[in-house]
Amino acid sequence: MISAQWLDAIDEPMLAIDADGRIAASNEAAATLSGRGRLDLVGQPCSILFPKSLCSRTDLDPGPISRWETTLLRRDGVEISVRVSRAHLEIAEQTVWTLFTIRASDERPESEAPLARLDRSLLDTLEEGVVTIDDGWRVTALNHAAQRILGTPEHTAIGSLCSHVLRSEACQDGCPLARALEQRSSVRNERVHLTRHDGGPVSVSMNCAILRDPCGEARGGVLSFRELTEPREVRSSFVGDGFHGMIARSAPMRHVFRLIEDVADSPSTVLITGESGVGKELVAEAIQQESTRRHGPFVKVNCAVFSEGVLESELFGHVKGSFTGAGRDHRGRFELAHGGTLFLDEISEISPRLQVKLLRVLQDRRFERVGDEATLEVDLRLIAATNRDLEALVREGKFREDLYYRLNVIPIRVPPLRDRRDDVRLLVDHFVHKLAHLTRKPVRFVDEEALAHLVSYRWPGNVRQLENAIEYAFARAHGEVLTLDLFPPDILRGGSEQGSPIPSESVEAARIRAVLDRHHWHHAKAAAELGISRTTLWRRMRRLGLDTET
């Protein structure tokens, strides 16, 4: 049956539940997660896995895609916190299934795509790329994850030969789907190198399954794939200008990247320090993605946005009736991060009372919900971040010394942008391309005058301020080039590292006129003396009313 074969091609845990609430099919990932064999699951009531009434008749009724936070009961009796996404599926006139996709509670599904003869909403729950191909080797569908990985919008891929969409050497020799058709069986975990639409390489782990018609004849195939994290010894030499979303090639940031690789698999607590806007959260996410906990939850808390009481409940959870307004049990972030990583941003803002509770969790990995006497144990890695000097706060008596040393096992300092000026041009180029894609504006680059100013500016708000400045200029732009006058006034006033302001137009006009006079208005020679291109000189002359010799 087509749907069962497709289920086997998906790496994420997935179950098919029939109209009677029984498990009709399971893939290997779901069986492994439940601690049972696939044959042990098929035919069993859904309630053997989800004991909290998820499998009620109401939940199995047809309807739009929906999601629940719940628990999955393993064979060994251990309950796992999961998020279950449900999609209703009609396979044939007499066959109705409800598909459950299971993932850790903090993960959010972001993909959607059609699959031949399957309900489109089904793939809303998948985060791996899925491409379907007909018997003429032409693409019939690809989901959003596939579009993201390949950099190819769906409308340009539909109807194209799969070799033109995937652009892999394997298309010419060693196609996994061709091998699946030849072997008449699925191919799993095949390492394949693809080429993105922009020409960039991407390595994926690919599964291939055959799609058959009711008579059993092959009518195409389905490919599912996820991006691979390169082995460290290989990836480190091919970091290029980016690392887990951080754009940099400067020596200070390369040091940070190497440090992340070195400490990722350690269970020790990490303390990330740096000014606001340097990207501390990106560093925390990179540590998670590099670690053995990469498939576990990554739970974030900004300690500065909650009052003491609310933060206590957010971190440790509470039981019903523990305080006014506590109408139900609430699981805290420590529970949600079990098996993964908890990221506490602005750790310096935690009150002295909560510092004591946090210290205990770091020491024993145990805590109690607010209003409860039962002790809970958690397995997680804690990463904290701050833009303040914790040592100074310790000296002032505002932060516990013992907690500081518990947090500062592995310190990582993220340098400010003014200490990594080599990265400014890279970041500008990155943000220009990003915003051009988002806004559909024809902007292609920042001119040399503006770029020189951006490089010399101090950037007290760091990378975040730079991105905001580019966005501001984009909003005002009408052509292909971002010129200096389009940028925010505070940046124009701010000047260079030494704080020298941008010269007034009258002073600038007089300076340019003097250079032009000296070279008898020979633009190339004048531009060379000014240290700018002829195009930039021409733009300045037009802006200052010097576009004709007077």
Counting the structural domains of the chain, the total is: 5
Query: Is the residue at 238 inside a domain?
Result: no
By C-alpha distance, which of 216, 171, 224 is closest to 193?
A: 171
Q: What's the average model confidence in pLDDT over 508-516? A: 77
Kindly write down the DSSP assignment for every residue of 332-377, as one continuous string: -HHHHTTTSEEEEESGGGS-HHHHHHHHHHHHHSEEE-BT---EEE
User: Among 370, 385, 413, which residue terminates a domain?
Assistant: 413
In the block, which residue shows the tokens 């970091």? 239
Cβ burial of 540 (10 Å; 0-12, 13-18, 19+) is buried
Report the C-alpha gap between 6 and 542 in whole angstroms: 63
* CATH code: domain of residue 467: 1.10.8.60
364 lies in the same domain as 481: no
- pLDDT at position 503, please? 46
By C-alpha distance, which of 303, 253, 304, 305 is closest to 283?
A: 253
51 lies in the same domain as 65: yes
Query: Is the residue at 272 inside a domain?
Result: yes
3-state secondary structure 59-119: HHCCCCCEEEEEEEECCCCCEEEEEEEEEEEEEECCEEEEEEEEEECCCCCCCCCCECCEC
**Alpha helices in 196-279, H assignment, sequence order:** 232-235, 251-263
Terminal CA-CA length for the chain: 82
- pLDDT at position 124, please? 43
User: Among 373, 396, 413, which residue terminates a domain?
Assistant: 413
Query: Is the residue at 256 inside a domain?
Result: no
Query: Is the residue at 120 inside a domain?
Result: no
- pLDDT at position 356, please? 94
Query: Is the residue at 250 inside a domain?
Result: no
298 lies in the same domain as 403: yes
By C-alpha distance, which of 233, 259, 299 is closest to 414?
A: 259
427 lies in the same domain as 315: no
What is the bridge-based pairing of β-strands 246-247 and 242-243?
antiparallel
Report the C-alpha gap between 283 and 260 in whole angstroms: 8
Say which residues have a Cβ less than 8 Å from residue 261's Cβ, sequence separation at least 6. 232, 236, 290
The mean of the pLDDT values for the chain is 79
CB 475 within 8 A of CB 510: no
405 lies in the same domain as 428: no
- pLDDT at position 509, please? 75
- pLDDT at position 241, please? 61
319 lies in the same domain as 368: yes
376 lies in the same domain as 394: yes
In the block, which residue shows the tokens 């009620």? 56
- The beta-strand segments (E) located in 259-310 are 270-273, 298-302
524 to each of 376, 472, 510, 514, 517, how far by Cα in Å? Answer: 74, 32, 18, 15, 13
**Quick one: tokens of 504?**
């007034």
Task: Look up the domain containing 138 and give its range.
Answer: 128-228
- pLDDT at position 214, please? 55
pLDDT tens profile 61-118: 444 445 677 888 888 877 788 877 776 654 433 445 667 777 765 544 433 333 333 4
Query: Is the residue at 248 inside a domain?
Result: no
291 to each of 32, 252, 298, 335, how far by Cα in Å? Answer: 21, 22, 12, 20
- pLDDT at position 231, please? 40
* CATH code: domain of residue 168: 3.30.450.20
Query: Percent of the chain at pLDDT above 70?
Result: 79
- pLDDT at position 53, please? 59
By C-alpha distance, which of 187, 174, 347 is closest to 271?
A: 347
User: Among 413, 432, 448, which residue terminates a domain?
Assistant: 413
199 lies in the same domain as 223: yes
Say what the alpha-carbon torsion angle 322, 323, 329, 331 is, to the nearest 10 degrees: -100
376 lies in the same domain as 293: yes
3-state secondary structure 7-48: HHCCCCCEEEEECCCEEEEECHHHHHHHCCCHHHHCCCEHHH
Phi/psi at 66 (nearest 5 deg)? -145, 165
Helices and strands, number each (H, E), in the chain: 23, 21
278 lies in the same domain as 366: yes
Report the C-alpha gap between 352 and 401 in whole angstroms: 11
Query: Is the residue at 530 inside a domain?
Result: yes
CB 422 within 8 A of CB 249: yes
Say what the pTM is: 0.52
286 lies in the same domain as 391: yes
CB 317 within 8 A of CB 335: yes
Q: Please, which residues bridge with residue 458 across strands?
A: none
Confidence of residue 389 (pLDDT cuts 50, 70, 90): very high
296 lies in the same domain as 390: yes
Query: Is the residue at 353 inside a domain?
Result: yes
Confidence of residue 267 (pLDDT cuts 50, 70, 90): very high
Give residue 378's identity as a one-letter amino acid code.
V
Residue 139, SS3?
A: strand
- pLDDT at position 104, please? 62
What is the bridge-based pairing of β-strands 129-134 and 139-142?
antiparallel
